[in-house]
Structure 1
Amino acid sequence: MSTHADRLGALREQLKRQSLDGFVVPLTDEHLSEYVGAYAQRLAWLTGFEGSAGTAVVLPAKAAIFTDGRYTIQVREQVSADHWSFVGVPATSVSGWLAEHAPDGGRIGYDPWLHTRAWVDEARRALAAKGAELVAVEGNPIDAVWAGRPDMSPAPLDAYPDDLAGRSSADKRGEIAEWLASSHADAVVLSALDAIAWTFNVRGKDVESTPVALAYAIVHADATADLFVDEGKLTDDVRRHLGNAVRLHSRGAFAGALGQFAGKRVVADPAGSVAAIIDALEAGGAKVVAMRDPVVLAKAIKNPAEVAGHDAAQLRDAGAMVRFLKWIEAAAPKGGQTELTAAARLREFREATGALRDVSFSTISATGPHGAIPHYHVTEESNLPIEPGQLFLIDSGGQYLDGTTDITRVVPVGEPTAEMRDRFTRVLRGHIAIATALFPEGTVGAQLDSFARRPLWEAGLDYAHGTGHGVGAYLSVHEGPQRIAAPNYPGGGPAEPLKAGMILSNEPGYYKAGEYGIRIENLILIEPRDIAGADRPMLGFRTLTFVPIERDLIDPALLSTDELAWLNAYHAEVMAKVGPTLDDEHRAWLEAKCAPIG
């Protein structure tokens, strides 16, 4: 079908054939992943929206797409207002909108493999007020009309070395077994792809930018496990790596296996398991224990080998970033560069390390007004030339065997305005406030979020995204449960105590719609802090990312003595760590960028 309008029309005809009056289309897969394989990109296929979070609802006479504040501009650029209404969340929920707009007595379909039970219950209650019904579909109606829908990736699994993982899979499964025993449970279902990759020390190539494989797993109280993955992905090396304690089954056998736990207590994470998993367990007579997947926290707290790997990956990536920043500083003012050429050049610098496995997400290469779209995704259609007078924002990362990187820097093309410098320096002050924060054990990220916002709030400014997200170890660039985000901002959520070993991003920003965007992002590691006279255990952050922060955008008069000292010490460390890895030309450039300010 040639247009998104045609696709919307075809879906409506399919809904009639399935006796449905509406359908809900989330941007996720059967594993509730943030980034999904091409086969699961139903929302993008239907609407044209290419952001990483959103939902659509299609009714006979109207359709709506739901996005948060990160995508307010992007969704309007990519989705036709002639056919779609734009709805902001969390101000309006999908279930709340359905309660208002669904036809009386209507049948609203949903795919139980793409939603949590909690969402299903909420939507069912909301529709019941209008006498409408929420209906689980056997086959996703979008799949029925999506001509040429991609197949699932056939890429093989890779064994992940124990020396990089820091622990063997047997050790991890043993810890899960101990947790099951203490929880009086017989088994736990693992459906999150990064949890499976971490538990079994395997990686894959099934999702762009995230080294995971499409699989399910069930770990038992005796530390054995059942892994459900297509046989074509299993090499002899991977079979040996998994060992005899891991029973192998086809991915298609998973749903049936859930019906074999009659009388057993089986843990299923209510936030991480789709409704179909819980439905199947209950139908088979299992007692479903609603508890968080035990891998979530274990995976988030990095062991010494994972921390050492991150340090190595960050240093390697920093060299590539320095080479890129020197290049873009010289090339952009000459003209001829675009958002796409810049993104491609940065990838070349990372590939030149000889260690890059993939980018860690689609590079946000955004100049001028596109910089004001926090999660902008450049395409051939949206690609802009990088021109004098603009700020160029580059948010990117690499996947290396020893770590995952994520960094944002801003480069002025020509002379920045006084306003740009003011806003950039306020963002920098917020970044420094997080980097230098000290806090007692038990603190949650939401308590730190306002540290980063205060310099902007003082000028009546803010940004519509969280300040920090967790990062995996050669896994997902966005990893929970840790975050630095208040609940009323996108990225916020349930309070999670910050613990030593967690890695987060530190990325406050500022966005002026239609003109420019600013974000300064480093990765940070939580470590214990010894403070003389302290009467409780304290924590702080160690910065992992070492790339210069653009000095031409800094107004030193806005920085306190302590802030200026932090900046100069940071740049001295950048020079000490990264300088020796560079040739003379790049080292000289870096030295000038890292010279003391003030």
Structure 2
Amino acid sequence: MFQSFDSPATPEQGPPRLAALRQVMQRAGVDAFIVPRADAHQGEYVAARDERLQWLTGFTGSAGFAVVLPDAAGVFIDGRYRVQVKAQVDLSHFSPVPWPEVKAGAWIAEHLAAGVVGFDPWLHTADEIAALRAVLDPAGLTLRGLGNLVDAIWPDQPPPPCGRAFVHPDHLAGKSSADKRARLAEGLRKAGQRAAVITLPDSICWLLNIRGADVPKNPVLQGFAILHDDGRVALYTDPAKLPAEVLAHLGPDVAPCPPEAFVPALRGLAGPVRVDRATAPLAVSEVLAEAGVALVWGDDPCRLPKARKNAAEIEGMREAHLRDGAAVVTFLAWLDRQKPGSLTEIDVVTALEGFRRATNALHDISFDTICGAGPNGAIMHYRVTRETNRAVRDNELLLVDSGGQYHDGTTDITRTMAVGDPGDEPRICYTRVLQGMIAISRARFPKGLAGRDLDPLARFALWVAGQDFDHGTGHGVGAFLSVHEGPQRISRLSEVPLEPGMILSNEPGYYREGAFGIRLENLIVVQEAPALGDGRAQYSFETLTFVPLDRRLVVTSMLSPDERAWLDSYHAEVLTKIGPRVAPEVRDWLTASCAPL
């Protein structure tokens, strides 16, 4: 199994670890210390060594941070984790704080009258620290960068990851690494910049056409890179990660260097040097400034080109989704044959992974499968463990959010299914969520619009009923890279214009704590829309995911004629594309599941 059902949350360990951190804070002369989820590479997903927030608090979510004061400890979590955090931390010692509604600076200023706030400059971006300074300086509080205090009290901290890298072939990447490096170097020269520092693992892997095994479920290599204006790259990572075939692939213009050479190399650069203040650790810009190297703030040069998938990457993603869709359809047909109450959440997760493995093409799952039966479905990023494992009972909903990593693409799909008769209210809520998914799927929009402009389309049917969901409508997705990829997303916070080739999730939801959860998710890719009207440039979405939606949960009378036509057309396409890829008995189930409403 790629997925483990062990419980990583240790709320009972939180109080003694919190006490130990406060002792080392006192010795370091700081009155507060910030513990982020991030690592030095600022990726969303981190290796075991960097799970400092989880180790300290017990909270296992993929986003958040803690602020520890002498007499208070806040765990800052967004809307996805407000149910989960209450079960994972000791609430007598840690206080959940709704974020981003409550900002760290404001909370610290409210709870700390004076003193020094410590942080590790390798774990925070320049943007994050600037936002804190803007609030703490006027309040008379001092920010101080120092060594990591959690590492100082973590006696059995895991070693740094050392997964072996491997080559991502050009026919799947669509462009050679040399071509990518030459094009980005040309951009540096035109901007008058001598080099760019790259810290995001997925950017480095995309640029060099390699993949790695340093972070669970994400095929990335951890390291730092410096791209020079002549196309040369210095790659700073453990040399044990780079086998001979990878070194041969990298060629003479990519110089492998040990990690400890990164800071000296920064000091020796000739500026101006581009650094991304939103993704690079603050320590990078501090080293450059101390060495007198001219620094220019600018975007990671890989992020937008990586987000704009080329034809080969899109074709690979299409094929990966058809393969994965056949596995998920086979799973759903199997699930419908099981007697209610005979399965647990772990049984469901194990079976689904087995169907994906049966493709003989699965590299890994793309994240731990979220399988929530009944009230567990309301925990947005619920991860079943042996302690929480629940039976899939009759007359309730089952939410399954899962994905696969294949060498030609990354998948992410959510379906909510009826087990027996869940009742009218869940059906009504399901249909509203479905209307939101359809609205995004059918959208045509002018060139230049960002995700925030489309996000309301997914919520309108819920809003008119006084309902909503506390997460973004969609995140970017990499091509055999991170299942969560920036900078594109569909969210009220996103100002990045959507462009052709960008792949996103389309996943509205609705969650009723203690009762049920609903989420529906397809992946979509931005494409140029055929000309209409006065010929203005417009975009639309191509759907990549082909798995039926549960018709038993659709209140047909709530759908408009256009919504009903979209759903019938989608199901017809599912049957056409997936039917030939599944066994005859599964095809019979699929035919019934894709019948017109």
Tell me, yes or no, if structure 1 residue 360 matches structure 2 residue 366: yes
> CA contact under 8 A between 1:261 and 1:284: conserved in structure 2?
no
* SS across alignment from 2:468: coil
Supply the RMSD in Å over aligned alpha carbons.
1.2
* SS across alignment from 1:3: helix
User: What runs of 5+ residues in structure 2 fail to find an aligned partner?
Assistant: 1-9
Q: 2:118 is matched with which residue? A: 109
**1:326-370 CA deviation, whole Å, 9 max, x = no partner?**
12222251x232222211211111111111111111111111111
Question: Mapping of 1:167-206 within 5 angstroms?
Answer: 167-206=175-214
**1:35-88 CA deviation, whole Å, 9 max, x = no partner?**
101100000000010111111011111111101111111111111110011110
Q: 1:569 is matched with which residue? A: 569
Q: What is the distance in 1 between the residues matched to 2:382 and 2:175?
A: 37
Q: 1:502 is matched with which residue? A: 502
* Deviation at residue 429 of structure 1 after TM alignment: 0.9
Question: Mapping of 1:248-267 within 5 angstroms?
Answer: 248-262=256-270, 264-267=271-274
Q: 2:442 is matched with which residue? A: 436
* Deviation at residue 128 of structure 1 after TM alignment: 2.8
* Deviation at residue 231 of structure 1 after TM alignment: 0.8
Q: 1:405 is matched with which residue? A: 411
> CA contact under 8 A between 1:324 and 1:345: conserved in structure 2?
yes
Closer, same or farther in 2 for the Cα pair 1:532/1:93, shift >3 Å? closer
Match of residue 121, structure 1, among 130, 137, 142: 130
* SS across alignment from 1:410: strand
* SS across alignment from 2:193: coil
**1:158-201 CA deviation, whole Å, 9 max, x = no partner?**
01101100000000000111110111100000000100000000
Q: What is the distance in 1 between the residues matched to 2:243 and 2:365?
A: 25
Tell me, yes or no, if structure 1 residue 160 matches structure 2 residue 168: yes
Match of residue 277, structure 1, among 284, 298, 309: 284
Match of residue 70, structure 1, among 80, 95, 115: 80
Q: What is the distance in 2 between the residues matched to 1:509 and 1:271?
A: 29
Closer, same or farther in 2 for the Cα pair 1:125/1:457, shift >3 Å? closer
Tell me, yes or no, if structure 1 residue 303 matches structure 2 residue 310: yes
Tell me, yes or no, if structure 1 residue 376 matches structure 2 residue 385: no
TM-score of the two chains, using structure 1 as the length reference: 0.96
Tell me, yes or no, if structure 1 residue 479 matches structure 2 residue 485: yes
Q: 2:106 is matched with which residue? A: 96
Q: What is the distance in 1 between the residues matched to 2:63 and 2:467?
A: 24
**Residue type at the aligned position of 2:337:** A
Q: What is the distance in 2 between the residues matched to 1:559 and 1:124?
A: 50
**1:408-438 CA deviation, whole Å, 9 max, x = no partner?**
0011111121111111111111111110101
Q: 1:526 is matched with which residue? A: 526
Q: What is the distance in 2 between the residues matched to 1:585 and 1:122?
A: 58
**1:274-303 CA deviation, whole Å, 9 max, x = no partner?**
100110111111111101111110000000
* Deviation at residue 14 of structure 1 after TM alignment: 1.7
* Deviation at residue 119 of structure 1 after TM alignment: 1.8
* SS across alignment from 2:106: helix
Match of residue 326, structure 2, among 319, 324, 327: 319
**Residue type at the aligned position of 1:88:** P
* Deviation at residue 544 of structure 1 after TM alignment: 0.5
Tell me, yes or no, if structure 1 residue 56 matches structure 2 residue 66: yes
* SS across alignment from 2:501: coil
> CA contact under 8 A between 1:218 and 1:227: conserved in structure 2?
yes
> CA contact under 8 A between 1:432 and 1:566: conserved in structure 2?
yes
Q: 2:461 is matched with which residue? A: 455
Q: What is the distance in 1 between the residues matched to 2:136 and 2:433?
A: 43
> CA contact under 8 A between 1:51 and 1:376: conserved in structure 2?
no
**Residue type at the aligned position of 1:180:** L
* Deviation at residue 130 of structure 1 after TM alignment: 3.9
Q: What is the distance in 1 between the residues matched to 2:88 and 2:64?
A: 13
* Deviation at residue 11 of structure 1 after TM alignment: 1.2
Q: 2:293 is matched with which residue? A: 286
* SS across alignment from 1:416: coil
Q: What is the distance in 1 between the residues matched to 2:498 and 2:273?
A: 28
> CA contact under 8 A between 1:193 and 1:215: conserved in structure 2?
yes
Q: What is the distance in 2 between the residues matched to 1:22 and 1:103?
A: 11
Q: What is the distance in 2 between the residues matched to 1:62 and 1:443?
A: 42
Closer, same or farther in 2 for the Cα pair 1:533/1:3, shift >3 Å? closer
Q: 2:544 is matched with which residue? A: 544
> CA contact under 8 A between 1:329 and 1:411: conserved in structure 2?
no
User: Number of residue pairs matched?
Assistant: 587
Q: What is the distance in 1 between the residues matched to 2:379 and 2:408?
A: 31
* Deviation at residue 381 of structure 1 after TM alignment: 2.3
Q: 1:489 is matched with which residue? A: none
Q: 2:225 is matched with which residue? A: 217
**1:195-230 CA deviation, whole Å, 9 max, x = no partner?**
000000010000001110111100111111111111
Q: What is the distance in 2 between the residues matched to 1:132 and 1:453?
A: 40
> CA contact under 8 A between 1:35 and 1:207: conserved in structure 2?
yes
* SS across alignment from 2:82: helix
Q: What is the distance in 1 between the residues matched to 2:119 and 2:486?
A: 26
Q: What is the distance in 1 between the residues matched to 2:306 and 2:164?
A: 23
Q: What is the distance in 1 between the residues matched to 2:339 and 2:15?
A: 38
Q: 2:15 is matched with which residue? A: 5
Q: What is the distance in 1 between the residues matched to 2:118 and 2:548?
A: 51
Q: 2:5 is matched with which residue? A: none
Q: What is the distance in 2 between the residues matched to 1:371 and 1:267?
A: 44
* Deviation at residue 103 of structure 1 after TM alignment: 4.4
**Residue type at the aligned position of 1:586:** V
Closer, same or farther in 2 for the Cα pair 1:81/1:473, shift >3 Å? same
> CA contact under 8 A between 1:278 and 1:288: conserved in structure 2?
yes
Q: What is the distance in 1 between the residues matched to 2:395 and 2:36?
A: 39
Tell me, yes or no, if structure 1 residue 236 matches structure 2 residue 244: yes
**Residue type at the aligned position of 1:136:** G
Q: 2:6 is matched with which residue? A: none
TM-score of the two chains, using structure 2 as the length reference: 0.97
Q: What is the distance in 2 between the residues matched to 1:301 and 1:528?
A: 13
Q: What is the distance in 2 between the residues matched to 1:280 and 1:29?
A: 18
User: What runs of 5+ residues in structure 1 fail to find an aligned partner?
Assistant: 487-491
* Deviation at residue 127 of structure 1 after TM alignment: 2.7
* Deviation at residue 16 of structure 1 after TM alignment: 2.0
* Deviation at residue 17 of structure 1 after TM alignment: 2.4
